């Protein structure tokens, strides 16, 4: 109570500088069947009007703001950066990637071993991916496993590493040693550290740390975060983040499992386009003065998204909203009302979100995002109007029917050796993927498959040697990945298939997606 | 919400305010005569949501603590002296970062249930700060009730009932100990508030003022008789 740090000198309102208008693209002619030279905007799943999301062509766009393209080490290579490389980096931005010798890294680990049982235990040490957040004063803010208190000296060492390297006008990016990758992300006033035994690339790990950073910003705004640490360098931020740990935990789980976060895309509830259009127009009619976004979710799938003209949502912000809704059961019964910063829109101010399920037992959740913190009753009224209209036009029943099969099986595509796939339409920022088939249904197998997709993704989006396509044979499955200017595609086949079959399957799959695109994607995004 | 209600009659001038209005609602699911806004306040993890769920659904949310995000809004219609009273209940997040958003809704509330946890000294110590905040942001004539929750946890109790009573007396607010787990005094807390608000609204000139203190004293179960005092 005493330190009511927030709202003093911090603006609550969203400023207009966050306007992120998408590029308008009109698509009259949609090609009949996709071809390899396909241009963006005509691929299956591309929206017919302007994009719903902030137009981010690729993974690179998303990571560009903090990434300096200096990562030249191939997977699993722990060699020290060569002199030539370093010179190149220095020339670029005066930042070099430091690959510290294993013995330096060794100093970090005995430190944690000497802690209380919990964080020194084998279980703790054998976790696949640790994530730590600390302040620049070295104060613990978050740890994925164990308690922050027990890790204060470990985090102190992490901060020391960051500072030592910075003292020489360099930036520490990662340490590779002993099968571990330690990735550092410096986002003043916070420092994020990931320690991973997975085969993800440094870039992917760094991107995951960015997600965690933005998760924290979404709760506090960057303005407030800066304000706090400017006034009190050794502030214990856990006080302000109390009760939000499960949001970060859940986000890390999503990062391990949800292909949407990997692809920077969102998946939709399969729905007849006529029904989806009615839902969209009903939501469009239920507008209010300060309403910026209306989002209808079915579980973790998008039903439709409405936005104010000229405003677009970044998928990272949408994923943060998904995460908020997915990790709190408290919206089920009543109507929730919470401030939320959408950091990719504007890190300086809060939006206010009205979050409620259409029915307590239903999976349909409506998120109404307003700029006015006193808008609760207006938005509550919007919701009633939306429901009324939906019922009047008999769309609610159709929607509930569609909820019974929120996914589809790979068998529907009609390619026997195909087990699973991910398809992302770049211009709409939407992806589609069937439900996981049998060998991948357990948690471990699901994460293993995701690991394979992550690996292919890192090869396609490699900063210095990007690939257009890759075919990979394994003992348990064969995979093919292909990226064009219009789409990104990952297919998983039984290990008995051949490369020729795989290539033929790609063409067949693209045809099938084109045929089903009305149902699988939001093709007519509307605005208020 | 308010657009669907039809105000039948404006209550003849009562303090010149129009907020106490007798309304008859023909909403889809439930009829009611009067509606009041009640807000649950107090530190994080004192049991605000659990108290509400106990009152609304008669259940106890055991297991993991789930922090409320921002404000959660729910309705419950209760019958007080044959009048259907709709309580619009704001369940607030206790965390510091949500303070500003709850401030914005203080002035709408006609009653505040202020909770502390009898097993947490800091939650009790913060009550004074909460009351200061209430005086700053809430309406002057707001009904306040102090509740010491988790009265079933006798073994971990650190705040004696007398301490709660003393503090409540100092601020002139009614007090009782509640348990969302066993349900002790939960219904009473909400009903007493509903009664008080209803009496204020429909008070006849010659009718005596509703004495919420006396009502509570006559109705409440002392946790000592079912839990044992520490």
> Which pLDDT belongs to residue A150?
86
Q: What span, in angstroms and rounded, lies between the C-alpha atoms of A347 and A65?
A: 14
> Which pLDDT belongs to residue B213?
76
> Which pLDDT belongs to residue A68?
39
Q: What span, in angstroms and rounded, lies between the C-alpha atoms of A419 and A441?
A: 12
pLDDT digits (tens, 9 = 90+) for B170-184: 999 999 999 999 999
* CA-based nearest distance A251→chain B, Å: 16
Q: Is the pLDDT higher at A190 or at A93?
A: A190
* pTM for this model (two decimals): 0.82
pLDDT at B163 over 70: yes
DSSP character string of chain B = -GGG-EEEEPPS-BTTBSSS-EEEEE-SS-EESEEEEEEEEESTTSSHHHHHHHHHHS----SS--PPPBEEEEEEEEEETTEEEEEEEEEEP-SGGGHHHHHHHHTT-SEEEEEEETT-HHHHHTHHHHHHHHHHHS-TT-EEEEEEE-TT-GGG--S-HHHHHHHHHHHT--EEE--TTT-TTHHHHHHHHHHHHHHHHH--TTSPPP-HHHHHHHHPPPHHHHH---
Q: What span, in angstroms and rounded, lies between the C-alpha atoms of A272 and A278?
A: 10
Instruction: Enter the tokens of residue A161.
Output: 């590493």
List of chain B residues whose C-beta atoms are within 8 Å of the C-beta of residue A353: 70
Asked whether the beta carbons of B153 and B185 are under 8 A apart, the reply is: no
> Which pLDDT belongs to residue B208?
66
Q: What span, in angstroms and rounded, lies between the C-alpha atoms of A398 and A333?
A: 23
pLDDT mean across residues, chain B: 81
> Which pLDDT belongs to residue A26?
35
* CA-based nearest distance A337→chain B, Å: 5
> Which pLDDT belongs to residue A467?
93
pLDDT at A525 over 50: yes
List of chain B residues whose C-beta atoms are within 8 Å of the C-beta of residue A2: 129
pLDDT mean across residues, chain A: 82
- In the numeric block, the tokens 């870039």 are attached to A203
Instruction: Enter the tokens of residue B212.
Output: 């919420």
If you measure CA to CA, which chain A residue comes closest to B50? A330
Q: Do B101 and A220 touch (CB under 8 A)?
A: no
Q: Is the pLDDT higher at A72 or at A410?
A: A410
> Which pLDDT belongs to residue A253?
93
If you measure CA to CA, which chain B residue comes closest to A332? B72
Q: Do B95 and A240 touch (CB under 8 A)?
A: yes
Q: Do A242 and B101 touch (CB under 8 A)?
A: no
Q: Is B177 on the interface with A (CB under 8 A)?
A: no
To test the contact with chain A by mutation, choose from B25, B64, B72 the residue with the greatest count of A C-beta atoms within 10 A, namely: B72
List of chain B residues whose C-beta atoms are within 8 Å of the C-beta of residue A220: 97
> Which pLDDT belongs to residue A76?
36
Whose CA is closest to B189, among B74, B72, B56, B75? Answer: B56
Residue A98: pLDDT band by 50, 70, 90 thresholds?
very low
Q: What span, in angstroms and rounded, lies between the C-alpha atoms of A267 and A302?
A: 6
Residue A379: pLDDT band by 50, 70, 90 thresholds?
very high
* Rounded alpha-carbon distances, angstroms, from residue A376 to A50, A391, B77: 29, 23, 21
Q: What span, in angstroms and rounded, lies between the C-alpha atoms of A4 and A27?
A: 52
Q: Between A and B, how many CB-CB pairs are < 8 A?
A: 100
Whose CA is closest to A336, among B68, B56, B2? Answer: B68
Q: Do B72 and A220 touch (CB under 8 A)?
A: no
Q: Do B101 and A384 touch (CB under 8 A)?
A: no
3-state DSSP helix/strand/coil percent for chain A, to nearest 5?
40, 20, 40
Q: Do A6 and B97 touch (CB under 8 A)?
A: yes
If you measure CA to CA, which chain A residue comes closest to B74? A334
Q: Is B99 on the interface with A (CB under 8 A)?
A: yes
| DSSP type of residue A21 | P
> Which pLDDT belongs to residue A310?
87
Q: Which helix (H) or strand (E) holds A132?
A: strand A129-135
* CA-based nearest distance B203→chain A, Å: 29
φ and ψ of A416, to 5 deg:
-55, -40
Chain A residues whose C-beta sits inside 8 Å of any chain B C-beta: 1-7, 12, 219-220, 239-244, 246, 324, 328-331, 333-339, 352-353, 355, 373-374, 376-377, 380-381, 384
pLDDT digits (tens, 9 = 90+) for B52-78: 999 998 888 877 778 889 999 999 999
Q: Residue A205: which residues within 8 A CB-CB, separation 6 or more?
A: A174, A181, A183, A194, A196
Instruction: Enter the tokens of residue A469.
Output: 């396509």
The closest CB to that of B70, out of A239, A333, A338, belongs to: A338
pLDDT at A169 over 50: yes
> Which pLDDT belongs to residue B33?
87
pLDDT at B146 over 70: yes
List of chain B residues whose C-beta atoms are within 8 Å of the C-beta of residue A335: 72-74
List of chain B residues whose C-beta atoms are within 8 Å of the C-beta of residue A240: 95-97
- In the numeric block, the tokens 């935990």 are attached to A249
> Which pLDDT belongs to residue A115?
33
If you measure CA to CA, which chain B residue comes closest to A245? B67
ipTM over 0.90: no
Q: Do A329 and B44 touch (CB under 8 A)?
A: no
* CA-based nearest distance B92→chain A, Å: 9
pLDDT more than 90, % of chain A:
63
List of chain A residues whose C-beta atoms are within 8 Å of the C-beta of residue B74: 333-335
pLDDT digits (tens, 9 = 90+) for A485-514: 999 999 999 999 899 999 999 999 999 999
pLDDT at A7 over 50: no
pLDDT digits (tens, 9 = 90+) for A119-160: 778 888 888 999 999 999 999 999 999 888 888 899 999 999
Asked whether the beta carbons of A139 and A151 are under 8 A apart, the reply is: no
Q: Do B1 and A6 touch (CB under 8 A)?
A: no
Asked whether the beta carbons of A385 and A291 are under 8 A apart, the reply is: no
Would the CA dihedral through B109, B96, A343, A328 be positive or negative?
Answer: negative
List of chain A residues whose C-beta atoms are within 8 Å of the C-beta of residue B97: 6, 219-220, 240-242
B residues 200-229 lying closer than 8 A (beta carbon) to A: none
* CA-based nearest distance A2→chain B, Å: 8
If you measure CA to CA, which chain B residue comes closest to A6? B97
What is Dmax (Cα atoms) for chain B? 52
A345-374 mean pLDDT:
92
* CA-based nearest distance B84→chain A, Å: 20
Q: Is the pLDDT higher at A82 or at A252?
A: A252
Q: Do A336 and B72 touch (CB under 8 A)?
A: yes
* Rounded alpha-carbon distances, angstroms, from residue A211 to A4, A216, A489: 27, 9, 23
Q: Do B99 and A339 touch (CB under 8 A)?
A: no
If you measure CA to CA, which chain A residue comes closest to B65? A243
Q: Do A12 and B3 touch (CB under 8 A)?
A: no
List of chain B residues whose C-beta atoms are within 8 Å of the C-beta of residue A329: 66
Residue A214: pLDDT band by 50, 70, 90 thresholds?
very high
pLDDT at A236 over 80: yes
Q: Residue A254: which residues within 8 A CB-CB, separation 6 or more?
A: A261, A319, A322, A323, A326
Strand order in the sheet with A364-370: A301-307, A291-298, A364-370, A351-357, A335-340, B71-80, B83-92, B34-42, B111-117, B143-149, B175-177
* CA-based nearest distance B63→chain A, Å: 13
How many Cα atoms are found within 13 Å in the side-chain-facing hemisphere of B41?
32
Asked whether the beta carbons of A95 and A68 are under 8 A apart, the reply is: yes
pLDDT digits (tens, 9 = 90+) for A303-335: 999 999 888 899 999 999 999 999 887 777 789
pLDDT at A109 over 70: no
Q: What span, in angstroms and rounded, lies between the C-alpha atoms of B111 and B183?
A: 20
The closest CB to that of B97, out of A220, A329, A335, belongs to: A220
- In the numeric block, the tokens 């949408």 are attached to A318
Residue B204: pLDDT band by 50, 70, 90 thresholds?
low
List of chain B residues whose C-beta atoms are within 8 Å of the C-beta of residue A333: 53, 56, 72, 74
> Which pLDDT belongs to residue A89?
34
Q: Strand, helix or coil at A493?
A: strand
How many Cα atoms are found within 13 Å in the side-chain-facing hemisphere of A522?
31
Q: Residue B122: which residues within 8 A CB-CB, separation 6 or more?
A: B43
The closest CB to that of B72, out of A241, A334, A373, belongs to: A334
> Which pLDDT belongs to residue A15?
39
Output the CA angle A153-A157-A159, nearest 5 degrees.
110
pLDDT digits (tens, 9 = 90+) for A425-473: 999 999 999 999 988 999 999 999 999 999 999 999 998 999 999 999 9
Instruction: Enter the tokens of residue A405.
Output: 């099969």
Q: Is B72 on the interface with A (CB under 8 A)?
A: yes
Q: Do A376 and B105 touch (CB under 8 A)?
A: yes
pLDDT at A80 over 60: no
A219-223 mean pLDDT:
95
pLDDT at A21 over 60: no
Q: Residue A129: which residues within 8 A CB-CB, separation 6 or more?
A: A144, A194, A195, A196, A197, A198, A252, A256
Q: What span, in angstroms and rounded, lies between the C-alpha atoms of A51 and A526?
A: 10
List of chain B residues whose C-beta atoms are within 8 Å of the C-beta of residue A1: 96, 126, 129-130, 133
Range name among A62-76, A116-130, A287-301, B103-117 with the lowest pLDDT average: A62-76
């Amino acid at each position: 109570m005493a330190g009511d740090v927030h709202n003093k000198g911090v603006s609550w309102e969203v400023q207009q500088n966050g306007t992120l208008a998408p590029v308008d693209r009109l698509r009259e002619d949609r090609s009949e069947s996709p071809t390899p030279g396909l241009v963006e905007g005509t691929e299956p799943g591309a929206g017919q009007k302007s994009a719903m999301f902030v137009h981010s062509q690729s993974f690179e766009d998303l990571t560009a703001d903090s990434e300096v393209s200096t990562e030249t080490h191939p997977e699993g290579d722990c060699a020290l950066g060569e002199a030539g490389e370093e010179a190149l980096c220095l020339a670029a931005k005066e930042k070099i990637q430091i690959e510290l010798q294993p013995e330096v890294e060794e100093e970090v680990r005995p430190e944690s071993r000497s802690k209380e049982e919990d964080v020194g235990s084998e279980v703790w040490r054998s976790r696949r991916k640790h994530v730590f957040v600390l302040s620049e004063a070295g104060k613990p803010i978050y740890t994925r496993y164990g308690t922050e208190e027990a890790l204060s000296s470990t985090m102190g060492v992490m901060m020391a590493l960051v500072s030592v390297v910075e003292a020489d006008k360099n930036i520490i990016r990662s340490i590779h040693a002993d099968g571990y990758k330690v990735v550092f992300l410096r986002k003043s006033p916070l420092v994020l550290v990931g320690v991973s035994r997975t085969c993800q690339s440094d870039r992917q790990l760094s991107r995951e740390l960015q997600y965690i950073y933005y998760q924290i910003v979404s709760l506090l705004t960057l303005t407030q975060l800066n304000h706090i640490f400017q006034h009190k360098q050794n502030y214990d931020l856990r006080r302000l983040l109390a009760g939000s740990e499960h949001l970060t935990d859940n986000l890390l789980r999503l990062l391990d499992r949800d292909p949407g976060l990997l692809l920077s895309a969102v998946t939709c509830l399969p729905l007849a386009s006529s029904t989806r259009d009615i839902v969209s127009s009903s939501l469009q009619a239920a507008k209010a003065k300060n309403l910026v976004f209306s989002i209808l979710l079915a579980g973790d799938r998008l039903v439709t998204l409405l936005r104010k003209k000229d405003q677009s949502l970044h998928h990272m912000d949408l994923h943060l909203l998904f995460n908020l809704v997915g990790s709190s059961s408290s919206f089920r019964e009543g109507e929730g009302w919470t401030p939320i910063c959408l950091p990719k829109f504007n890190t300086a101010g809060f939006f206010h979100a009205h979050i409620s399920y259409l029915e307590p037992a239903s999976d349909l959740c409506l998120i109404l995002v307003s700029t006015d913190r006193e808008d609760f009753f207006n938005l509550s009224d919007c919701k009633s109007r939306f429901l009324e209209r939906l019922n009047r036009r008999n769309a609610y029943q159709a929607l509930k029917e569609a909820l019974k099969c929120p996914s589809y099986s790979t068998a529907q595509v009609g390619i026997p050796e195909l087990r699973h796939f991910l398809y992302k339409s770049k211009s709409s920022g939407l992806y589609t993927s069937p439900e996981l088939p049998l060998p991948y249904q357990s948690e471990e197998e699901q994460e293993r498959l995701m690991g394979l997709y992550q690996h292919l993704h890192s090869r396609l989006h490699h900063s210095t040697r990007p690939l257009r396509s890759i075919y990979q044979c394994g003992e348990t499955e064969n995979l093919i990945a292909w990226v064009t200017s219009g789409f990104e595609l990952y297919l998983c086949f039984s290990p008995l298939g051949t490369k020729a079959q795989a290539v033929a399957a790609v063409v067949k799959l693209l045809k099938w997606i084109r045929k089903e695109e009305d149902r699988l994607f939001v093709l007519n995004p509307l605005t208020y | 919400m308010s657009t669907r209600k039809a105000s039948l009659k404006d209550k003849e001038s009562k303090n010149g305010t129009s907020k106490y209005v007798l309304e008859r609602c023909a909403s889809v699911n439930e009829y009611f005569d009067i509606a009041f806004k009640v807000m649950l306040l107090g530190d994080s993890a004192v049991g605000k949501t659990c108290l509400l769920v106990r009152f609304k659904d008669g259940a106890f949310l055991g297991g993991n603590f789930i922090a409320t995000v921002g404000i959660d809004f729910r309705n419950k219609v209760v019958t007080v002296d044959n009048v259907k009273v709709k309580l619009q209940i704001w369940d607030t997040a206790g965390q510091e970062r949500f303070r500003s958003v709850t401030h914005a809704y203080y002035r709408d509330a006609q009653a505040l249930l202020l909770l502390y946890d009898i097993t947490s000294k800091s939650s009790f110590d913060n009550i004074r700060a909460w009351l200061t905040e209430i005086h700053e942001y809430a309406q002057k004539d707001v009904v306040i009730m102090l509740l010491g929750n988790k009265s079933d946890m006798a073994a971990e109790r650190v705040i004696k009932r007398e301490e709660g009573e003393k503090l409540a007396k100092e601020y002139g607010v009614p007090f009782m100990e509640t348990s969302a787990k066993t349900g002790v005094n939960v219904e009473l807390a909400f009903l007493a508030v509903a009664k008080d608000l209803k009496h204020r609204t429909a008070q006849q000139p010659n009718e005596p003022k509703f004495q919420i203190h006396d009502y509570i004293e006559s109705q409440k179960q002392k946790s000592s008789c079912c839990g044992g005092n520490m």
